[in-house]
């Protein structure tokens, strides 16, 4: 702007007027900056020392100078933004001087000539670390899944270092959302989507309910403007009726609380537009049919040690006048939420036949609810609150513990674990544990200790045996049964939801793979010597390339598991002691389903080889007959689920073969992979003392078989039993059945499908 005025050598009257107007505007802007700065100082809660004020003034001067030539899309001076972010940090989040200084400077390192070293020299290492964290995550771009996931991980890394980084980032995002009107529509949608995906859930998890609510409402405003305006208009129209209702409803409560001598405040506030919209969607109802459009909050002033008792006294007063819904009582005072939220919620029936939610809390609880974990800085003596913050951050650090993990897996784990609701469960000794909802008995085992998880073979929930995959409910008491012989299995990953359990299982599976790879390496070296070649890296690389393995470990592992058969190879020639192999077979992945089926059913009477790793053809084992290696089987081509494998004597085989012979493909088992398959055995005989014990001992100890279920029935001296167990193949199953036939008292043993 200054350059333009300097460029005109002879200013016309119009130019002069324009320049004067510009000068007036700049003067006005200077005054506005000063006013906003004073407002910022007033907003800082707690003790502000003269030294702190000097630091803030120095940061403001530096930021004004650094951003002097920058303007926002709205045309305002850019400096308005950092001042607004600093004010949100102070007023709405409750942060102190250090965070205010960092907020004022949060864009300087990224957008101006100022460096981190300059900031460190002027304001110290703490402010520099926070600004470094903010600079790292300011470039988040949600263009692709993987990019989004990688940036998300970056955000969490900075959060683990200093939680103030994310609190300032949330304040920055809130101000950007409040001033989003000046942006283009595509930009609005992108920023609103990011906000709903990451920032609103983070605000919720950190207990910043006011900020979370406003972020969600603003995101809805820009994503669905019509719906937002419609709900906002209806809320405004019903405001007067709502106020009259609240006044009548709270009158008897106020009178009783006055008699009891409480100092209190009662607020009636509508639910957020976003939460009303969610209710309308979930329950498929109109605005008028959403019954809890507002909640009544009773905030009492009381001593810390009397909070719980006084909140229950107020609950007693409320329920003296209004009938509570027993299913809607939530006691988050005895058991606070994972983010530190404490409150007593009840839903009562009003005289007009309308359910009303009443929230009861102390003034301290209300501040914690509004400012969340940021209140940690205000209630430093409140060790419970500090512990909540530390526990959550530890779980974040735990998730970041495994840098090798896939970024997309990381995002889904993180959202599932740290943004989900929580359940409270207990150990046999009554120790309380918080887990994400949906957690299983196996998650609980790993939460106790990684070794307990690794050796877990079963669990008792409320004294009853349950599968490891059993989802837990709040209040459950869990006892874990372990065995030193137990090892984590691949399918355990389907049973767990917590990041800790997934990480530890993957770690254990990698260890198992490494141990098997040692065996495989020896086999490869033996075979190379047998062929007359050196067992050096060049020859190993030739085998890796031929079998398209992922690397040394993968090659050795597959050899050890019998997925690669070196003895079937015949190296054609030597060249300087190097192994030369024929051209590798064409990758089956490149062929279409039609080509593969064509080959299987072609003139050479080819057969689908089950368990052949090189044949990447989608097939599933049918549950109607549970085929296992060694069974006589066939493949059936389905419309949507690839090929289904059935036993030839499957109950459905006749119908499938007679009606759909054009869909049948031959199939046979290849190799002895140590995968376990489910098979059923039925036995009967004469009841005898200790018979059950003998049978279970044979199954689990002598044959090392894992049982999924076992049942016995006895009628007039005759017993019948059935076991569903995991076996490796028909030889394994036949051997087990033969052993059972030899047990005294057992008359018949046969295989069953289910």
Q: 379-423: per-residue pLDDT in tens?
A: 544 445 455 556 666 666 665 555 545 555 555 555 555 556 677
Strands 619-621 and 633-637, by their bridges, are unpaired
Mean pLDDT on 599-607: 50
pLDDT band at 177 (very low <50, low <70, confident <90, very high): very high
Rounded distance, CA 235 to CA 287, Å? Answer: 9
Residues 220 and 96 both lie in one domain:
yes
* Backbone phi, psi, residue 569, to 5°: -90, 150
Identify the bridge partners of residue 708 per DSSP, sorted by sequence position: none
The CATH number of the domain holding residue 160 is: 1.10.3210.10
pLDDT band at 724 (very low <50, low <70, confident <90, very high): confident
Question: Which residues 6+ apart lie within 8 Å of 369 measured at CB?
Answer: 207, 209, 341, 342, 343, 361
The CATH number of the domain holding residue 725 is: 3.30.70.260
Are the beta carbons of 247 and 270 closer than 8 angstroms? no
- Pair of tokens at residue 25: 């505007």
- Show the domain range for 294: 232-379
Strands 664-669 and 633-637, by their bridges, are antiparallel
Residue 361 lies in a domain: yes
| pLDDT for residue 744 is more than 70 | yes
Residues 646 and 616 both lie in one domain:
yes
| pLDDT for residue 512 is more than 50 | yes
Rounded distance, CA 657 to CA 566, Å? Answer: 37
Between 377 and 105, residue with greater pLDDT:
105
- Pair of tokens at residue 77: 């001076």
Residues 593 and 681 both lie in one domain:
no
Are the beta carbons of 154 and 160 closer than 8 angstroms? no
The CATH number of the domain holding residue 237 is: 3.30.460.10
Mean pLDDT on 170-192: 85
Beta strands in 513-638 (DSSP E): 573-575, 578-580, 608-610, 619-621, 633-637
pLDDT band at 126 (very low <50, low <70, confident <90, very high): confident
Residues 58 and 124 both lie in one domain:
yes
- Pair of tokens at residue 729: 């193949």
Q: 546-602: per-residue pLDDT in tens?
A: 877 777 888 888 888 777 878 777 665 555 667 777 665 554 444 444 454 555 555
Residue 6 lies in a domain: no
Residue 129 lies in a domain: yes
Distance of CA 366 to the CA centre of its chain: 28
Give catalytic status of residue 310 as yes or no. no
Are the beta carbons of 472 and 478 closer than 8 angstroms? yes
Placement of tokens 């060790």 in the chain: 383
Please tell me which residue in 29, 111, 612, 673 is annotated as part of the active site: 111
Residue (of 242, 236, 331, 342) closest to 291 by Cα position = 242
pLDDT band at 543 (very low <50, low <70, confident <90, very high): confident
Are the beta carbons of 414 and 465 closer than 8 angstroms? no
| pLDDT for residue 298 is more than 90 | yes
Residues 110 and 215 both lie in one domain:
yes
What local confidence, expressed as pLDDT, does residue 654 receive? Answer: 55
DSSP letter (8 states) at residue 46 = S
What's the chain's Rg over C-alpha atoms? 35
| pLDDT for residue 343 is more than 60 | yes
Q: 41-64: per-residue pLDDT in tens?
A: 888 866 678 888 898 999 888 888
Q: Number of folded domains in the chain?
A: 5
**Domain termination site, one of 185, 216, 231:** 231
Residue 701 lies in a domain: yes
What local confidence, expressed as pLDDT, does residue 703 receive? Answer: 63
Residues 607 and 642 both lie in one domain:
yes
Give catalytic status of residue 431 as yes or no. no
Residue 167 lies in a domain: yes
pLDDT > 70: percent of the chain = 76
Residues 686 and 575 both lie in one domain:
no
Please tell me which residue in 110, 239, 265, 641 is annotated as part of the active site: 110
Residues 133 and 215 both lie in one domain:
yes
| pLDDT for residue 340 is more than 80 | no
**Domain termination site, one of 209, 231, 253:** 231
Residue 700 lies in a domain: yes
Between 697 and 284, residue with greater pLDDT:
697
- Pair of tokens at residue 553: 């470990």
Q: 31-41: per-residue pLDDT in tens?
A: 888 888 888 88
Residues 554 and 634 both lie in one domain:
no
pLDDT band at 310 (very low <50, low <70, confident <90, very high): very high
Residues 149 and 182 both lie in one domain:
yes
Q: 621-664: per-residue pLDDT in tens?
A: 887 777 877 777 778 877 666 788 887 767 676 556 545 555 67
Question: Which residues 6+ apart lie within 8 Å of 722 measured at CB?
Answer: 680, 681, 682, 683, 709, 710, 711, 752
What local confidence, expressed as pLDDT, does residue 14 receive? Answer: 38
Residue 453 lies in a domain: no
Are the beta carbons of 323 and 356 closer than 8 angstroms? no
| Type and span of the H or E element at 159 | helix 145-161
Are the beta carbons of 721 and 710 closer than 8 angstroms? yes
Mean pLDDT on 121-147: 67
Rounded distance, CA 59 to CA 691, Å? Answer: 82
Torsional class of 642: left (φ above 0), alpha (ψ -120 to 50), beta (otherwise): left
Are the beta carbons of 254 and 285 closer than 8 angstroms? no
Exposure class string for 157-193: b at 16+ Cβ within 10 A, else e: bbbbbbbbbbbbbbbbbbbbbebbeebeeeebebbbe
Residue (of 112, 64, 70, 114) closest to 86 by Cα position = 64
Placement of tokens 């980032």 in the chain: 169
* Backbone phi, psi, residue 300, to 5°: -110, 145
Q: What is the dihedral of CA 483, 484, 487, 491, to 10 degrees?
A: 10
Rounded distance, CA 708 to CA 706, Å? Answer: 7
Lowest model confidence (mean pLDDT) among 336-345, 409-418, 466-475, 629-638: 409-418
What local confidence, expressed as pLDDT, does residue 248 receive? Answer: 92
What local confidence, expressed as pLDDT, does residue 500 receive? Answer: 81
Concatenating the DSSP letter of every residue in 679-711 gives EEEEEEEE--TTHHHHHHHIIIIIS-PEEEEEE
Burial of 638 (0-12, 13-18, 19+ CB in 10 A): middle
* Backbone phi, psi, residue 105, to 5°: -100, 5
Question: Which residues 6+ apart lie within 8 Å of 624 measured at CB?
Answer: 646, 650, 651, 652, 753
Burial of 319 (0-12, 13-18, 19+ CB in 10 A): middle
Mean pLDDT score across all residues of the chain: 77
Are the beta carbons of 266 and 296 closer than 8 angstroms? yes
Rounded distance, CA 376 to CA 368, Å? Answer: 8
**Domain termination site, one of 355, 379, 403:** 379
Residues 216 and 321 both lie in one domain:
no
Mean pLDDT on 329-347: 85
Residue (of 549, 524, 519, 556) closest to 539 by Cα position = 524
Mean pLDDT on 178-187: 84
- In angstroms, the first-to-last Cα distance of the chain is 82
| pLDDT for residue 345 is more than 90 | yes
Rounded distance, CA 527 to CA 548, Å? Answer: 18
Between 660 and 706, residue with greater pLDDT:
706
Residue 458 lies in a domain: no
Are the beta carbons of 667 and 633 closer than 8 angstroms? yes
Strands 664-669 and 608-610, by their bridges, are parallel
Number of H helices, E strands in the chain: 29, 22
Q: 431-462: per-residue pLDDT in tens?
A: 888 888 889 999 999 989 888 998 898 899 98
Tell me the H-state helices in 400-475.
407-418, 441-448, 450-454
What local confidence, expressed as pLDDT, does residue 346 receive? Answer: 93
| pLDDT for residue 10 is more than 80 | no
Residues 207 and 64 both lie in one domain:
yes
* Backbone phi, psi, residue 633, to 5°: -130, 165
Kindly tell me the sign of the dihedral angle through the C-alpha atoms of 48, 51, 53, 55: negative
pLDDT band at 301 (very low <50, low <70, confident <90, very high): very high
Rounded distance, CA 622 to CA 625, Å? Answer: 6
């Amino acid at each position: 702007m200054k350059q333009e005025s300097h460029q005109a050598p002879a200013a016309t009257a119009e130019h002069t007027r324009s320049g004067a107007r510009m000068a007036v505007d700049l003067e006005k802007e200077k005054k506005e900056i000063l006013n906003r700065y004073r407002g910022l100082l007033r907003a800082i809660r707690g003790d502000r020392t003269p030294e702190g004020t000097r630091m803030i003034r120095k940061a403001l001067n530096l930021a004004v100078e650094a951003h002097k030539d920058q303007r926002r899309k709205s045309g305002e001076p850019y400096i308005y933004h950092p001042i607004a972010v600093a004010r949100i940090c102070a007023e709405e989040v409750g942060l102190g001087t250090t965070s205010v200084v960092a907020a004022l400077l949060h864009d300087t390192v990224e957008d101006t000539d100022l460096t981190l070293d300059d900031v460190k020299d002027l304001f110290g290492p703490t402010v520099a670390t926070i600004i470094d964290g903010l600079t790292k995550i300011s470039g988040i771009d949600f263009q692709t899944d993987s990019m989004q996931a990688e940036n998300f991980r970056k955000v969490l890394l900075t959060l683990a270092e200093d939680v103030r980084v994310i609190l300032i980032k949330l304040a920055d995002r809130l101000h950007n959302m409040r001033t989003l009107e000046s942006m283009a529509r595509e930009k609005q949608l992108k920023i609103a989507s990011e906000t709903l995906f990451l920032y609103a859930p983070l605000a919720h998890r950190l207990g910043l309910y006011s900020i979370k609510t406003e972020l969600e409402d603003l995101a809805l405003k820009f994503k669905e403007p019509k719906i937002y305006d419609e709900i906002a208009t209806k809320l405004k129209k019903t405001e007067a009726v709502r106020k009259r209702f609240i006044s009548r409803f709270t009158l008897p409560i106020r009178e009783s609380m006055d008699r009891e001598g409480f100092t209190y405040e009662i607020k009636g506030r509508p639910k957020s537009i976003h939460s009303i919209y969610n209710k309308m969607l979930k329950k498929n109802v109109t605005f008028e049919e959403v019954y809890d459009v507002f909640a009544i909050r009773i905030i009492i002033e009381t001593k810390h040690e009397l909070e719980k008792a006084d909140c229950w006294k107020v609950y007693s007063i409320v329920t003296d006048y209004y009938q509570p819904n027993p299913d809607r009582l939530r006691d988050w005072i005895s058991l606070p939420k994972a983010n530190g939220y404490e409150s007593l919620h009840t839903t009562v029936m009003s005289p007009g036949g309308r359910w009303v939610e009443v929230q009861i809390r102390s003034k301290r609880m209300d501040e914690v609810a509004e400012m969340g974990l940021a209140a940690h800085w205000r209630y430093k003596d409140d060790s419970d609150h500090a512990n909540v913050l530390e526990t959550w951050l530890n779980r974040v650090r735990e998730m970041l513990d495994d840098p090798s993990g896939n970024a997309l897996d990381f995002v889904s784990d993180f959202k599932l674990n740290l943004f989900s609701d929580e359940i409270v469960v207990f150990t046999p000794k009554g120790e309380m544990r918080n887990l994400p909802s949906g957690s299983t008995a196996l998650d609980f085992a790993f939460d106790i200790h990684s070794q307990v998880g690794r050796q877990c073979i079963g669990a008792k929930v409320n004294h009853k045996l349950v599968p490891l995959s059993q989802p837990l409910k709040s209040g459950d008491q869990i006892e874990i049964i372990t065995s030193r012989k137990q090892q984590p299995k691949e399918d355990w990953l389907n049973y767990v939801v917590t990041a800790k359990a997934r990480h530890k299982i993957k770690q254990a599976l990698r260890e198992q793979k490494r141990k098997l790879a040692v065996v495989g390496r020896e086999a490869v070296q033996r075979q190379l010597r047998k062929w007359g070649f050196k067992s050096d890296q060049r020859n190993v690389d030739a085998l890796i390339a031929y079998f398209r393995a992922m690397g040394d470990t993968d090659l050795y592992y597959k050899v050890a598991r019998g997925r690669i058969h070196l003895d079937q190879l015949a190296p054609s020639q030597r060249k300087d002691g190097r192994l030369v192999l024929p051209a590798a077979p064409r990758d089956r992945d490149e062929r279409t389903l039609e080509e593969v089926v064509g080959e299987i059913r072609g003139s050479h009477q080819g057969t689908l080889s089950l368990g052949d790793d090189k044949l990447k053809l989608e097939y599933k084992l049918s549950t109607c007959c549970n085929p296992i290696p060694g069974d006589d089987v066939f493949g059936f081509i389905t419309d949507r689920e690839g090929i289904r494998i059935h036993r030839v004597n499957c109950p459905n085989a006749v119908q499938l073969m007679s009606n759909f012979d054009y869909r049948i493909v031959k199939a046979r088992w290849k190799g002895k992979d140590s995968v376990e398959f489910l098979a059923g055995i039925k036995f009967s005989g004469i009841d005898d003392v200790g018979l059950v014990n003998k049978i279970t001992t044979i199954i689990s100890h002598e044959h090392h078989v894992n049982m999924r279920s076992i049942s016995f029935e006895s009628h007039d001296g005759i017993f019948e039993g059935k076991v569903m167990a995991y076996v490796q193949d028909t030889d394994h199953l036949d051997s087990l059945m033969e052993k059972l036939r030899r047990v005294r008292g057992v008359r018949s043993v046969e295989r069953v499908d289910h």
